[in-house]
Amino acid sequence: MVRDVNSLVKYAIFSSAVLLAPLLFSGGYLMNVLVFVGINTLLAVALNLLLGYAGQISLGHAAFFGLGAYISGVATATYGMNPWAALLSAAAAVGLVAFAIGFPILKLKGHYLAMATLGFGIIVYIVFNETVDITGGPSGLSGIPNFDISGFVFDSDLKNYYLVWAVTLVTILLSANLVNSRIGRALRAINSSEVAARVMGVNVSLLKVQIFTLSAVISSVAGSLYAHTMTFISPASFGFNFSVELLTMVVIGGLGSVYGPLFGAVLLTLLPESLRAFQDYDIIVYGLLLVLITMYMPGGLVRGIHVVTSFARSKFASEVVKNAQG
């Protein structure tokens, strides 16, 4: 369990904010966007475990997301499987794939690892496009059913919002526990020096594969959630662009922090929506903002906010002192 009271309080505040948000946005289109924010957060949390803690880059995470979505989609839409069973089987299958490719791929480091994961992502993307008989090809797979619990169907944005965020909140809690455990310390040791970690008795290659698999399984669950809330999937949503977008979320949010991925996912999903006012120039403004954030908050939003608040606090404190003196 998380022992630190401070972080428990943070988590409680955050969970209640998630719980109450629909009171503000219910019925509006923002509810729909917040469902995707939840799915993106889940993906960013998964990638953060791998990249932020273990220091292993992946440019192919959209592939795991897509595999989860497609296995779920095909199993339910074509073969009439129950969505929950499909979610579990997709997660298991993706876990196996990740475990199998993890051993050779994670022997690579730096740019080579980036290239290998990129390659994997592109291969999966091509398979989605070319196996028209199974996946429906570039024009997509439709008729995927919603989740349901004995007659209660998750068919509205509000219901899916609670479903997606329940999974996301639990995942955040579990990942926070994981990174504060012995395993989390071992992961950070790998991040700073693999040799040192090995000397300290960490089974580096196995642990890297395990965290890669866990990350892939969470992405697969996100994929299943996506498929059953959208009820339609097409390969364009799982391409290289999306892998990069995920990476941006994690980096912008703050590598190796529990709430970093959340901030990144919220910003990157909501920002384009709020920039629609700029019409054709929204992409330029979007790019500019990302450049500014990476330049002036190199540690990501989480640390940036921390710096700003501590600056304000110290300034406020000195004002108080000045006033007291004056």
Give me the least distance between CB of 118 and other proteins, in Å please.
18
Q: Which is nearer to other proteins, 111 or 276 (CB)?
A: 276
Q: Which is nearer to other proteins, 118 or 197 (CB)?
A: 118
Q: Which is nearer to other proteins, 159 or 198 (CB)?
A: 159
**3-class DSSP assignment, residue 90:** helix
Give me the least distance between CB of 299 and other proteins, in Å please.
29
Q: Which is nearer to other proteins, 278 or 316 (CB)?
A: 278
Q: Which is nearer to other proteins, 130 or 319 (CB)?
A: 130
Give me the least distance between CB of 286 and other proteins, in Å please.
11
Within the chain, where are the H helices? 5-25, 29-48, 61-77, 83-105, 110-130, 132-135, 157-179, 182-192, 194-199, 204-230, 240-253, 260-274, 282-296, 301-325
Q: Which is nearer to other proteins, 42 or 105 (CB)?
A: 42
What is the per-residue burial (b if ≥16 Cβ within 10 Å, else e) of 189-212?
bbbeebeebeeeebebeebbbbbb
Q: Can you tell me the distance from the alpha carbon of 246 to that of 274, in angstroms, rounded to the nearest whole number? A: 19
Q: Can you tell me the distance from the alpha carbon of 68 to that of 91, in angstroms, rounded to the nearest whole number? A: 7
Q: How many helices (H) and strands (E) does the chain have?
A: 14, 4
Give me the least distance between CB of 130 and other proteins, in Å please.
7
Bridge partners, residue 71, by sequence: none
Give me the least distance between CB of 264 and other proteins, in Å please.
17
DSSP 238: G
Q: How many CA atoms lie within 13 A of 91 on its CB side?
A: 15
What are the phi and psi torsion angles at 272 (to 5°)? -60, -35
Give the residues lining the site for other proteins (CB under 8 A): 27-29, 32-33, 36, 129-130, 132, 137-140, 142, 157, 226, 230-234, 236-237, 272-273, 276, 280, 283
Give me the least distance between CB of 64 and other proteins, in Å please.
17
Q: Which is nearer to other proteins, 69 or 214 (CB)?
A: 69
Give me the least distance between CB of 29 and other proteins, in Å please.
4
Give residues with Cβ within 8 angstroms of 199, minimum separation 6.
none
